[in-house]
Structure 1
Amino acid sequence: MAGMNLFKTFALLALLSGLIVLAGYLLVGNEQGLYYGLGFAALSSFGSWYYSDRAALSAFQAKPTPREEAPDLCDRLERLSDRAGIPTPTLYVVPSESPNAFATGRDPNHAAIALTQGIIDLLPPDELDAVIAHELTHVRNRDTLTQAVAGTLAGSLTFLGRILTLGALYFPMARVGGRRGNNPLVILFLLVVGPVAAGLIRMAISRTREYAADAGAADITGNPLALVRALEKLEDLGQKVPIHGNPAFSPLFIVNPLSKEGMMRLFMTHPPIDDRIQRLKQMAEQAKAEAQTTPAVSSNG
């Protein structure tokens, strides 16, 4: 399952990059546009790799929290990081009553975990451990980088569409799609189809990585049901007390308070909470079954 999720993530990222390259080709109208698209995708990816953590933390006014201000939280983060096998990320606290959490950073050596004041006040120790372990799994799996690159590439397609719009308004005789004038199919792709497709791909990547992070949290804490209880509380209260900040960073959070039902699931940045809870309960049942059979196996040996 983990290998399939990883393959799916890289395939979706490749598809997203391909859309950028195609947009460059359509915008210029010849092979040179392919190189422009590749260059634009590379620059966008590098920028998101290096600056994504600062942008996310500043978007929600997260403040670094030294050990003297929160010794228990810092001890908890260090203990769980050691279990996860990664360096301890920098701890940040978001001054919001909305219960939520996110991880960011370009790699495990440059990572940060942000907890809202609301989630710190709401959850008991075992459930808070499960949430932190979920975010640490994102760091260990480098999902923070994947999400940043996916978000930047998706935004780049929208940016290219805006370039075309300005060109059509102010330079109506500019060459677009290799022909004089504005090719309506090219305009449709760059303004509508491309950005929508990129957004759907980005959300699919986010949903895939959330399942993997839930599984990682269950493994680190050995208590899948603690994360079940935490998710139930966060889903309920998160919709009642929304967090204020740039919605472009919503895929980073452990739960999305704007989740929808029905066809709108395609546009969700997170898997349905019910699906995540069902998977975690299955993990708990499997772990219980294995624990019950282990003594019998050893006694027969």
Structure 2
Amino acid sequence: MNQVKTLGLLSLLAGLLVAIGYAIGGSGGALVGLLIAAATNFFSWYSSDKIALAAYQAQPIAPEQAPELYQMVQGLCDRAGLPMPKLYVVPTSAVNAFATGRDPHHAAVAVTQGIVQLLPKDELEAVIAHELSHIQNRDTLTQAVAATVAGAISYIAQILQFGMMFGGGRDREQGGNPIVAIATILLAPLAASVIQMAISRTREFEADAGSARITGNPRALASALQRLEAMAQQRPIPVNPSFEPLLIMNALPKQMFSSLFSTHPSTQKRIENLLKIEQQMLTASNAGSII
């Protein structure tokens, strides 16, 4: 279901890009918008690991530096059928983690010093399984597409705005409605941002479910999320908002309309969903034992 929602939201975002491109330059403008998005998508996807790791000042760690962590990640990868990613540590006492990379063979998992030190083993395992699920689902590619299409929409809206200010633009030339153009300038970037955040939330729900499948222990991730939220309020990780969708937990304080503009679902909803998955697993297990 989360995969279907993501596909629908991406389609809606692409349609919005085409519409605003058409508003500024007809079919030619729509094509320009798509080309801009395609070029920026490729760059963001291909360089995602380097950009994200540099943004968080993540440092590579060797197997001899953290043998237990390497053993844990390797065991989870074996269960998930994934190649071993590169491991990094973010030098901060904040508690968080993220995965990045353009595909499972060029992936990295980064954990903060705080999360390694403070989480019990089963909860840390569940968090890492969540990040491996992002890799398995190629969510970096999905997020890159969403972010860059949303960025292209904002860019084209600015072009339309300058065109109207200085006497250009398709509306004036062809007798279009200036009120529609103004509404497009104001609302299109906002709509794109809302859709982008909704896509991010669907990917988090799917990664939570993936963690439950890999570990067989949904309650461990539910407990970890509850613990992480409490700790994040006390020790948030400094982050550019552009990179917040990568994290397992929101790094920034909650604000007004947070549910609409948040990159992550509420922790309570995530916990409720995980407990439903646990119940489904128990039901399936009991049914199998009876048979």
After TM superposition, the score normalised by the length of structure 1 is 0.89
Counterpart CA distance in 2 for 1:261 and 1:214 is 24
Q: Which amino acid aligns with 1:92?
A: Y
In structure 2, the partner of 1:135 is 131
Tell whether the 8 Å contact from 1:21 to 1:36 is kept in structure 2 after alignment: no
**CA distance change for structure 1 residues 294 and 11 in 2, over 3 Å: closer, same or farther?**
closer
Structure 1 position 189 matched with structure 2 position 189: no
**CA distance change for structure 1 residues 176 and 293 in 2, over 3 Å: closer, same or farther?**
closer
- Give the deviation of 1:293 after TM superposition: 4.1
Tell whether the 8 Å contact from 1:206 to 1:269 is kept in structure 2 after alignment: yes
RMSD of aligned alpha carbons = 2.1
Tell whether the 8 Å contact from 2:83 to 2:105 is kept in structure 1 after alignment: yes
Structure 1 position 13 matched with structure 2 position 10: yes
Task: Name the SS for the 1:148 alignment partner.
Answer: helix
In structure 2, the partner of 1:284 is 278
Residues 73-222 of structure 1 aligned to structure 2 (within 5 Å): 73-167=69-163, 172-177=166-171, 179=173, 183-190=178-185, 192-222=186-216
Tell whether the 8 Å contact from 1:259 to 1:272 is kept in structure 2 after alignment: no
Q: Identical aligned pairs, as a percentage?
A: 50
**CA distance change for structure 1 residues 277 and 58 in 2, over 3 Å: closer, same or farther?**
same
Q: Which amino acid aligns with 1:198?
A: A
- Give the deviation of 1:290 after TM superposition: 3.5
- Give the deviation of 1:52 after TM superposition: 2.0
Match of 2:29 among 33, 36, 53: 33
Q: Which amino acid aligns with 2:146?
A: A
Structure 1 position 266 matched with structure 2 position 260: yes
Task: Identify which range, 78-87 or 157-166, moves more after superposition.
Answer: 157-166
Counterpart CA distance in 2 for 1:155 and 1:96 is 30
Q: 1:38-67: CA deviations, max 9, x gaps? A: 212211221222122222111111112222
Tell whether the 8 Å contact from 1:65 to 1:92 is kept in structure 2 after alignment: yes
Counterpart CA distance in 2 for 1:214 and 1:238 is 18
**CA distance change for structure 1 residues 82 and 185 in 2, over 3 Å: closer, same or farther?**
same
Number of aligned residues = 290
Tell whether the 8 Å contact from 2:33 to 2:156 is kept in structure 1 after alignment: no
- Give the deviation of 1:95 after TM superposition: 1.4
Q: 1:240-261: CA deviations, max 9, x gaps? A: 2111121111111111144648
Structure 1 position 24 matched with structure 2 position 18: no
Tell whether the 8 Å contact from 1:97 to 1:241 is kept in structure 2 after alignment: yes
Gaps of 5+ in 2: none
Task: Identify which range, 267-276 or 152-161, moves more after superposition.
Answer: 152-161
Task: Name the SS for the 1:91 alignment partner.
Answer: strand
- Give the deviation of 1:205 after TM superposition: 0.6
Q: 1:222-250: CA deviations, max 9, x gaps? A: 11111111001101111221111211111
Counterpart CA distance in 2 for 1:176 and 1:296 is 69
Match of 1:230 among 205, 224, 228: 224
Structure 1 position 296 matched with structure 2 position 263: no
In structure 2, the partner of 1:68 is 64
Q: Which amino acid aligns with 2:8?
A: A
